[in-house]
Structure 1
Amino acid sequence: YGGTLTYAYRLFAKNTDPSIEGGWAGFQLSGVNEQLVQGDWGLPRDEFGFTGNYVPTSTFRGNLAESWEQPDDRTFIVKIKPGIHWHDKAPMNGRELTAEDVAWAYRRHSGLLDWKPEYTETLFGLPWESIEATDKYTVVFKLTELRLSMVRAILAESTALVLPREVIEQHGDYTDWRNVVGTGPFMLTQHVENVSMTRTRNPNYHGFDEKYPDNRLPYVDEVKGLFMAEEATRLAAMRTGQIDMYHRFGATTIRKPEVLNALLATNPDLQVGTYFQRALQVSGMNIRKPPFDDIRVRQAMQMALDRDAINDSYYGGFAQRNPSGYFGNASGPVYTPFDEWPKQLQDEYSYNPEKAEQLLDEAGYPRGADGVRFEVTYDHRDLIDLGYVEIAAGYWKEIGVEVEINIHDTGSWVPRRVNGLYDMTTGDQAWDQAFSKLFGWYSNLVEGRENHLVEYLGGVPDPTLIRLYHAFNAATDESQQIRIAKEFDLYALSQHFQVFGFKAPKYQLAQPWVKGWNGESFLQDQGDVQVFARLWLDRDLKAEMGF
């Protein structure tokens, strides 16, 4: 026990209220406020490794919840574990967590209070009848009609953290980190913007190590994040032992094999974990206006890319070879491998510059005297790899499309997406997550709420996708949902809302003196620091190695 586990981070949320800031709030709240369940750390890693972006329900173990059951298709009952206490900080002052705390938090997330959340996922769109505490430790969730997504949303939604009612009623929201109070293994005790963030051990935490059941968690006294915006700074800190972890939690994974190899050349004892999250080498197109309102233009942009050549030259062959749909290869039965796509769709996602040029001619965009067909701007999100976009722009230039890349921070990038103020933009695809989550996002578009996530699916209502959305919600068994989700995915692919690039690996690192880590990324959405709570430091080894 003891010591400070340090990691580098380059992102933090604007505020700590998940119903305003969404999952980004987890950068501050992870390990502080908790969810009902999380993945079972005690599972053998050959059974499930916790190295991706998706934790299946089959791995869930109670955290705040002691047990749960579904007595009928519209009711879900959760028993809260007795003896869990809030942090000893005003106004909660270490009192016991109750079912009413959980019920109130879920009513807030689900829009059942007078205040409506600004950020919503599946919980908000469910047809709620009630969320009530029926005794001190029992919460009963009831819907007015069947929704198969109910269970996953209640147990696993990224924003479904149990927040303290007294704090929110006193301050009006949960946006100020200084007011944060949770039940987790750590207390958020310090945050200096663009400098550091400190979590301090909760001495009264209710959790024990699933692998070593006699050991109360957490092992370390502190988890300290050091803000390091530049990769060179983070790499130097890892080389010199200034930080212990180079982890996805701080949005600081290494993305290029050559960078990893250079680091291992100087520090060969580093522990390495490979992490596939989703395809961020994807380019969205604004289908509201020319030229991308013509599907032939969108098809041409995809056919212009020689993905095999880019993979070999830029990613060292380590990126996934074949294109993916919106559901990634770790999404279970809704994933459709490329070789099972319809032949026409396979052709549309294959390198064919001659066909790309033909499609642009047919769409009414011939080459001008200078060889240029049209010019567009590209809103590049600064967090995402710029090198790939520059390479793609070179391929698009070969078919007569000039792309001017403009770099935006997240603060300016998101509203430009929401308001359709772009020609092309950073996209996202091949998500390894519960398939109901995509439909939760799409509910924003169906119900007319602004949310940049729907831009991944065109940003404007599509009659076929809306029909499938309603069919998915009306499904009465999971096999129907799977069939509809696969149809939704293949249809969205056929519309070419985005140009698919790559799902490339990311690399996480730990110093050799960090013990208990086997490449795990998280135990649940917002559960990264729950991993840190289960790690310990061999400080003698660190000293022996001269750090």
Structure 2
Amino acid sequence: MKKTVWLVLSCLMVVSLILVSCGGDEDTNGTTKPDGTTSDKPQYGGTITVREAVDPQCCDSFANKMMMGGLVLWWSHEQLLKFDWARGPAGTGEFTNLAVASPEAQMGGELVESVEKPDPETWILHIRQGVHYQQPDTEAGDLVGGREMTADDVAWVYERNVHSPDGAIQVLQPRCAAAFTIEKTGPWEVTFTTPVQPITAQWWVIEGGGYGYMYPPEIVQTYGDLNDWHTAVGTGPWILEDWVPATSVTMSRNPNYWGENPVGPGKGDQLPYADGVKRLVIPDASTALASLRTGKIDFYGPTTYDQFEELRSSAPDLEYLEYLSDGFGNAHAFNLRLDDPTKPWTLNENGKKVRQALMLAVDYDTIVRDYFSGKAEKDTVLVNRNFTGVGYKPLSSMSQSVQELYSYNPEKAKQLLIDAGYPDGFKTDVLVPSAPTDMADQCAIVKNMWAEIGVELNIVPIEGSMLTPMVTRSFDWDDMFYGTFSGGTVGSFGFSLYTYFGYYRGDNRPQFASRTDPDGTPDPIIEAAFAKTQDNIYVNWPAAYKAVEEIRPYLIENAFKIPFPQPYSYNFWWPWMKNTYGQGQVAFFLKYYWVDQALKTEMGY
């Protein structure tokens, strides 16, 4: 089978794909015919089986003050806007669907047909007509009756989503939510106004942020909320049939789904192609790898280079994608509690010396070479190389004093600690998720390096489900924590946080340093850069991106966070999964994938 390696680095929103052929003449995007030729025409049928590393939670993000619903309902429910499949690898190739370097990539219509933006604050949404709610064989399905979704529904649902006191947005972006308005302005038109942080509103509310979706108002009016999965009725391609906690989620094809394939040999086909999706909860990585090798699951990833090498050896028929992600999943950093003036790293000149000492004591090049086998990038503060031309300024173009912070210099680090008043170093704790264990391993590497300058790091593992609310809601943590809420960008939606500087300022709860939220002192340089981006978003994007480029050296030099190198990621899938370009098991892409059942049988699975 032909193997495909794509190193994805978005540059001005253009996909850079490096294709490496490893022999064979078969077209892995085609279907093998009896005469040996291939066809690209998609087929219906089969089941897509994926792995969930943790048990999905359910269900109502707008009644629980948590981003929960997307974990279950995101697969059966839909957002207003999403990735534009026609402008990704299957179509024009403008976007990778993996690394998004512009809000434009996120403005493909899903339940919205089109968007008008007369100014940055105004969103005139033209609601898609002909979208009907699902008709599951349940009491809730009978209640809704498969009726058409309306503009009134959108206005009602988003009024609840945004302004419910128990909604996740009230925790994540309270000021943005308070200023947000929703109004039905036409038979099929709803207008949103976002006078506070409009690009933040685009990600957290209008697109859904991975948890905001449409549902029939009568579900909430009848049952009180969405927390009982048996009442799930969405508009999506998959109907939620069964959920066995800690075991599986079963979904079937929605036969009345509104969507059609917009591009390629299957253009005009009704979606989805597969008969259903099975989500198996497999926490243990070794068990999951065994399930992949034996064909029990169709996808695996993102994973590490070590697992990449093992799978290339043990299952050479697997297709794979190598890429640098936007950063949410694996651009880790030591996040410092900066709002406590008693900490060695506090926000004054001596604190800056301590923070710089901590960076200088990390041997970044050795970590990249030895721990990540050369498959990592060390420059990930705010944005990484995916954002070249749209916010990323290479480290090599910055001043020597900034570049020096990534060079291992324990002697200078010791002197900085002496100058800051810590000649004997200090002791500190770091909270780290107990799983995956590689995060604790990474902390251990830094612990040994910091020990060389007299900094004693105590690693405190804590269950992720406990750590997340501690650092995003209660702020009940003391010294530092290590995690994905880092200097890197957030998932495929990095643009919204990097132009908002969400980890360095403002009322964004993942802004863990408490620099300005809500009682901290704003950093005037960061605030000026933020003002420049806000003056130019949707109006003059190059100027907004320039502000991001200009602030990066300042963020690095001040070492507000101590970054760890970001590794490349690897997605695997079996050749019988067609029309996938390495995006993996992202919920809203599965409807475009199809199963080559004949090839699966031919391969012995």
When normalised by structure 1's length, the TM-score is 0.87
Q: What's the offset of the Cα at 1:58?
A: 4.5
What do residues 207-255 of structure 1 show as CA deviations (whole Å, max 9, x unaligned)? 11123123211111111111111111111111111111114xxxxx212
Q: Which residue of 1 aligns with 2:46?
A: 3
2:72 is the counterpart of 1:28: yes
SS of residue paired to 1:71: coil
* Secondary structure at the counterpart of residue 240 of structure 2: strand
Residue 282 (structure 1) shift: 1.5
Structure 2 Cα separation of the partners of residues 167 and 231 of structure 1: 37
Alignment-derived partner of residue 28 in structure 2: none
* Correspondence 1:402-441 to 2 at 5 A: 402-417=456-471, 418-427=474-483, 428-431=486-489, 433-438=493-498
Equivalent residues of 2:334, 2:562 under 8 A apart = yes
Q: Indicate conservation of the 8 Å contact 1:325/1:336, yes or no.
A: no
Q: Does 1:42 align with 2:86?
A: yes
What is the rounded CA distance, in whole Å, between the counterparts of 2:504 and 2:187 in structure 1? 35
Structure 1 unaligned regions, length at least 5: 248-252, 368-372, 523-527
Kindly state the Cα deviation for residue 151 of structure 1 after the two structures are TM-superposed.
5.5
Q: Does 1:246 align with 2:300?
A: yes
1:296 is matched with 353
| 8 Å contact from structure 2 (residues 516, 522) kept in 1 | no
Given candidates 264, 276, 285, the residue that maps to 2:336 is: 285
- Indicate whether 1:258 and 2:302 are aligned: no
1:517 aligns with 2:580: yes
Change (3 A) 1:290 1:148: closer
Q: Does 1:348 align with 2:397?
A: no
1:226 aligns with 2:288: no
Q: 390-399 or 148-157: which moved more?
A: 148-157
User: 1:123, 1:497 → 2: CA distance?
Assistant: 24
- Mark the CA change 1:44 to 1:402 in structure 2 (over 3 Å): closer, same or farther: closer
Question: Cα deviations across residues 115-152 of structure 1 (Å, max 9, x unaligned)?
Answer: 65455556961674731123331112235689566666
Secondary structure of 1:274's partner?
strand
**1:502 — aligned with what?**
565
Larger RCO (CA under 8 A, 6+ residues apart): 1
The secondary structure found in structure 1 opposite 2:497 is helix
Query: Corresponding residue for 1:67?
Result: 114
| Contact 2:501/2:530, CA 8 A, preserved across alignment | no
The counterpart of 1:463, out of the listed 522, 531, 556, is: 522
Which of 227, 233, 243 pairs up with 1:175?
A: 227
Give secondary structure in 1 for the equivalent of 2:75.
coil
Q: Distance in 2 between matches of 1:235 and 1:72?
A: 49
Matched residue SS, 2:287: helix
Q: Distance in 2 between the 1:281 and 1:444 partners?
A: 15
Letter of the aligned partner of 2:596 in structure 1? D
1:317-466 superposed matches below 5 A: 317-320=374-377, 322-331=378-387, 333-367=390-424, 373-384=425-436, 385-386=438-439, 387-417=441-471, 418-427=474-483, 428-431=486-489, 433-438=493-498, 442=502, 446-447=506-507, 451-455=509-513, 461-464=520-523, 465-466=526-527
Give the superposed CA RMSD.
3.0
- Indicate conservation of the 8 Å contact 1:109/1:123, yes or no: no
Output one character per residue of 1:316-366: Cα deviation in whole Å (capped at 9) or x when no partner: 10101x422212332452222212333322223332111111111222222
Aligned residues: 527
Q: 1:110 aligns with which of 141, 159, 162?
A: 162
Contact 2:79–2:111 (8 Å) recurs in 1 = yes
Residue 58 (structure 2) aligned to one of 3, 15, 20? 15
Residue 14 of structure 2 corresponds to none
Q: Give the fraction of aligned pairs with identical amino acids, expressed as a percent.
A: 28
Query: What is the letter of the counterpart of residue 318 of structure 1?
Result: K
1:192 equivalenced with 2:244 (yes/no): yes
SS of 2:567's equivalent in the other structure is coil
Distance 1:260 1:115, change over 3 A: closer
Change (3 A) 1:359 1:189: same
1:429 deviates by: 2.3
CA contact (8 A) 1:16 1:25 kept: yes
The whole-number CA distance in structure 1 between the counterparts of 2:102 and 2:134 is 27
Gaps of 5+ in 2: 1-43, 136-140
Aligned to 1:370: none
Give the deviation of 1:440 after TM superposition: 5.7
Which position in structure 2 is the counterpart of 1:250?
none
Q: Is contact 2:332-2:563 (8 Å) kept?
A: yes
Give the equivalent residue in structure 2 for 1:538. 596
How far residue 195 of structure 1 moved from its aligned partner, in angstroms, is 0.8
| CA offset digits 1:173-206 (Å, max 9, x no partner) | 3333333221010112222221111121111000
1:234 partner amino acid: A
Rounded to whole Å, the distance in 2 between the matches of 1:53 and 1:521 is 15
For residues 414 and 129 of structure 1, the distance between their equivalents in structure 2, rounded to whole angstroms, comes to: 26
Identify the residue that residue 270 of structure 1 maps to in structure 2: 318
CA shift in 2, pair 1:164/1:329, >3 Å: farther
- DSSP-derived class of the 1:8 partner: strand
Deviations 1:60-111 (A, max 9, x none): 4322112221234543211111110111114322111011111222223332
**C-alpha deviation, 1:26, in angstroms:** 2.0
Preserved CA contact (<8 Å) 2:429 2:460: yes
Equivalent residues of 1:393, 1:403 under 8 A apart: yes
Cα distance in 2 between the residues matched to 1:361 and 1:223: 59
Greater Cα offset, 140-149 or 281-290: 140-149
Q: What's the secondary structure of 1:380's corresponding residue? A: strand
User: What corresponds to 1:140 in structure 2?
Assistant: 191
Contact 2:355 2:562 in 1 (8 A): yes
Distance 1:466 1:13, change over 3 A: farther
Deviations 1:361-414 (A, max 9, x none): 2222223xxxxx322222111345332222121111122222221211122212
Q: State the SS of the aligned residue for 2:562.
A: strand
Matched residues in 1 for 2:467 and 2:253: separation?
A: 36
Q: Supply the distance in 2 between the matched residues of 1:446 and 1:203 (Cα, whole angstroms).
A: 45
Identify the match of residue 129 of structure 2 among 68, 82, 88.
82
1:7/1:243 contact within 8 Å kept: yes
* Secondary structure in 2 matching 1:533: helix
1:131 aligns with 2:182: yes
Q: SS state of the match for residue 407, structure 2? A: coil
Kindly tell me: are residues 269 and 144 of structure 1, through their superposed partners in 2, closer, same or farther at Cα, counting changes over 3 Å?
closer
